[in-house]
Structure 1
Amino acid sequence: MDLYLPIANLSVNALVIIALGFGVGWLSGMFGVGGGFLTTPLLIFYGIPPTVAAASAASQVTGASVSGMFAHARRKGVDYHMGGVMVVGGVFGSLFGAWLFEILRASGLIDTVIAVLYVVMLGSVGGLMLRESLGTIRAGKRGETVRAARRRHHPLIATLPFRWRFYRSGLYISPLGPFILGMLTGVLTMLLGVGGGFFLVPAMIYLLGMGTQVVVGTSLFQILFTTAAATMVHATTTRAVDIVLAVLLLIGSVAGAQLGTRFAARLKPEQLRLALALIVLGVAIRMALGLGWRPDEIYSVELA
């Protein structure tokens, strides 16, 4: 079942795109990530131009985040106060990211920058998650008790002024910390089409000191509004959003996010982290190979 994508200017198999959206939505519900860190590179591997893939993936992440966020909200796992501060930062970050996106595209560097950023960020995050999860699993097999780290915000966060109380998270910190995290997520959303959850979730735990019971839901809440803002900015400035591609991704991702949320409750946290780390590293390696792989023939001419 082939469909023509007007902005990408090519035909794709609709069932393949829907299946891709379902898989990414499933990961969104399981790990609290928007899934765009997988959507964009997978679309590029499929043949979608990087600029269209990044812009369209942001809209798909919005749909996946809506479904997953409501599932966590029913369990009272969303800190709306914290999420609201991050959303404001995300909107400002999206505007700055749009300006940066246009500069890179005008200079012809946007495709290379997208690929390099993916390799660096996914490789770093995946490596750290793999080391931590393997250490926890090995300790469990040896019968050792893994002492949970004391939940406390980073000293850099403690130095920021204007402290607020975030009751759901049990924190008394400056709103500037979550605001800056939201801005960084907004920039990443514009440049890479990601929700930023793979970066935001660890930052919320290790920098802000949030408890794991509210991290996933709050992350999805922030991702929902940031990706919605990024999609609108892309549609009005870069005009790289392919609505047909976005709709196909959304059809699969909404259903996948609900199933992923239910499945996550059946696995141990270290197993979830290990699975996500392997997926992230796999995508990073594939992107790195794409940067350095030289085809046998750079140009090919086919005579009719």
Structure 2
Amino acid sequence: MDIYLPIAEMAVNGLFIIALGLVVGILSGLFGVGGGFLTTPLLIFYGVPPTVAVASATTQVTGTSVSGVAAHMRRGGVDFQMGGVMIAGGILGSLFGAFLFRLLQASGQVDLVIGFLYVALLGGVGGLMLRDALVALKWIDPPEKSGPPKRHHRAIAALPFRWRFYASGLYISPIAPMLVGFGAGILTVLLGVGGGFIVIPAMIYILGMAARVVVGTSLVMILAVSAVTTLVHAMTTQAVDIVLAALLLLGSVVGAQYGAIIATKVKPDLLRLLLALMILAVALRMLLGLAWRPDEIFTIQVL
């Protein structure tokens, strides 16, 4: 079932795109990630231009997050106060990211930068998650610790203007979660990701949030930031392909509900291991795409 994408100017298999959205939706419900870290590279591998893949993936991330937030709200797993602070930082980050995106477009290096950022971020985060998952499953020995464990990073405790976040059980400065949201906003614009694969580790290991509200709060932030990012892309880059986004949403909204259900039945450490392996596989494929010599070094485009 081939469907023509007007912005990407190519035909795609509609069933494949829907199935991709379904898988990404399940991942969103399972791990609290928007799924863009998987959607964007796979669309690029399929042949969709990187700028269109990035811009359209943010639309799909928005729809997936709506479904995931609804599922976690029913379980009381959302800290709306923390989410609001992170959203404020994420909106500022998305505006700054749009400025960077336009600069890269003007220089003609946006595709190369997107590829390198994916390899660096996914490789680093995937490696850390893999180590933590193997330690939690007791497959490898944990690293030696010097001193008692801390709830959150020492730099966070030194920040001024502390607030009490009751749902997360924290008493920290709002500057810290705002900076986390700012970074996620930049990533959402540049890479078309929800930023969950960066935000969730930061919420756990840097902010020290309670595990029961991490996934739901992450999805609230991702929902708002990806919606703003979609609007920014539509107004600046004009690269949002609504047909492609609709096909992705068709599968992902359904998948997010099933993912949230599965998350309550599977061991969390095993889920973290599977996510780490998937992230590393995508990073490796992106690295091969950057290093492998194409059959045709030069292409000619008729305008």
Shift of 1:300: 7.8
Shift of 1:90: 0.7
Give the equivalent residue in structure 2 for 1:84. 84
Q: Distance in 2 between matches of 1:83 and 1:3?
A: 37
Name the SS for the 1:11 alignment partner. Answer: strand
Give the equivalent residue in structure 2 for 1:177. 176
Shift of 1:269: 1.4
Shift of 1:296: 3.5
**2:292 aligned with 1:278:** no
Q: Distance in 2 between matches of 1:116 and 1:178?
A: 26
Gaps of 5+ in 1: 143-148
Contact 1:79 1:169 survives alignment (8 Å): yes
Give the equivalent residue in structure 1 for 2:265. 266
TM-score between both structures, scaled by the size of structure 2:
0.94
Shift of 1:153: 1.6
User: Which amino acid is the alignment partner of residue 273 of structure 2?
Assistant: L
151 and 267 in structure 1: CA distance in 2 versus 1, 3 angstrom threshold: farther
Shift of 1:298: 2.6
Percent identity, aligned pairs only? 65
Q: Distance in 1 between matches of 2:190 and 2:298?
A: 28
Query: For residues 1-304 of structure 1, what are the structure 2 equivalents within 5 Å?
Result: 1-138=1-138, 150=149, 152-299=151-298
User: Which amino acid is the alignment partner of residue 74 of structure 2?
Assistant: R
Name the SS for the 2:137 alignment partner. Answer: helix
Contact 1:151 1:211 survives alignment (8 Å): no
Contact 1:151 1:210 survives alignment (8 Å): no
Equivalent residues, number: 294
Shift of 1:216: 0.2
Q: Distance in 1 between matches of 2:265 and 2:224?
A: 29
268 and 150 in structure 1: CA distance in 2 versus 1, 3 angstrom threshold: farther
Shift of 1:13: 0.8
Q: Distance in 1 between matches of 2:156 and 2:45?
A: 39
| Deviation sequence 1:217-268 (CA, Å, 0-9, x none) | 0000000000000000000011110011011100100000000111111111
TM-score between both structures, scaled by the size of structure 1:
0.94
Q: Distance in 1 between matches of 2:29 and 2:274?
A: 14
Contact 1:36 1:193 survives alignment (8 Å): yes
Q: Distance in 2 between matches of 1:139 and 1:116?
A: 31
User: Which amino acid is the alignment partner of residue 115 of structure 2?
Assistant: A
Contact 1:204 1:215 survives alignment (8 Å): yes
181 and 14 in structure 1: CA distance in 2 versus 1, 3 angstrom threshold: same
Give the equivalent residue in structure 1 for 2:144. none
Shift of 1:150: 5.0
Shift of 1:135: 2.0
Gaps of 5+ in 2: 142-147
Q: Distance in 2 between matches of 1:294 and 1:223?
A: 36
Name the SS for the 2:4 alignment partner. Answer: strand
Shift of 1:139: 5.2
| Deviation sequence 1:152-194 (CA, Å, 0-9, x none) | 1211111111111101001110000011111110000000000
Q: Distance in 2 between matches of 1:86 and 1:111?
A: 28
Contact 1:21 1:250 survives alignment (8 Å): yes
Name the SS for the 1:287 alignment partner. Answer: helix
Q: Distance in 1 between matches of 2:231 and 2:153?
A: 34
Shift of 1:136: 2.1
User: Which amino acid is the alignment partner of residue 214 of structure 1?
Assistant: V
Give the equivalent residue in structure 2 for 1:146. none
Q: Distance in 1 between matches of 2:295 and 2:78?
A: 51
Name the SS for the 2:197 alignment partner. Answer: helix
Structure 1 runs of 4+ with >2 Å offset: 295-301
| Deviation sequence 1:71-106 (CA, Å, 0-9, x none) | 000010000000000011111111000000000010
Name the SS for the 1:138 alignment partner. Answer: coil
Q: Distance in 2 between matches of 1:295 and 1:108?
A: 19
Name the SS for the 1:12 alignment partner. Answer: strand
Shift of 1:295: 2.3
